Structure 1
Amino acid sequence: MSLPWKRNGGSVLSSGGSNRLLSIDELADYLGIPKATVYDRWKVWGIPAYKVGRTLRFRERNVETWLERNRAA
Structure 2
Amino acid sequence: MMEDRWLSVDEISAYLGIKRDTVYKWISERQMPGHKIGRLWKFNKKEVDEWVKSNKADNNEPGSKGDR
TM-score bucket of the superposed structures, by smaller chain: 0.5 to 0.7
What is the number of residues matched between the two proteins?
A: 57
Distance 1:33 1:25 in 2: 10
Identify the match of residue 24 of structure 2 among 19, 39, 42.
Answer: 39
Unaligned runs of 5+ in 2: 59-68
* Runs of 4+ that moved beyond 6 A: none
In the superposition, the TM-score normalised over structure 2's length comes to 0.65
Aligned-partner SS, 1:21:
coil
Distance 2:39 2:22 in 1: 18
**What is the percentage of aligned positions where both structures have the same residue?**
35
More strand by share: 1
Asked if the contact 2:33/2:51 (under 8 Å) is kept, the reply is no
Unaligned runs of 5+ in 1: 1-12
**Superposition CA RMSD, Å:** 2.5
Identify the match of residue 39 of structure 2 among 41, 54, 60.
Answer: 54
Say whether 1:22 aligns with 2:7. Answer: yes
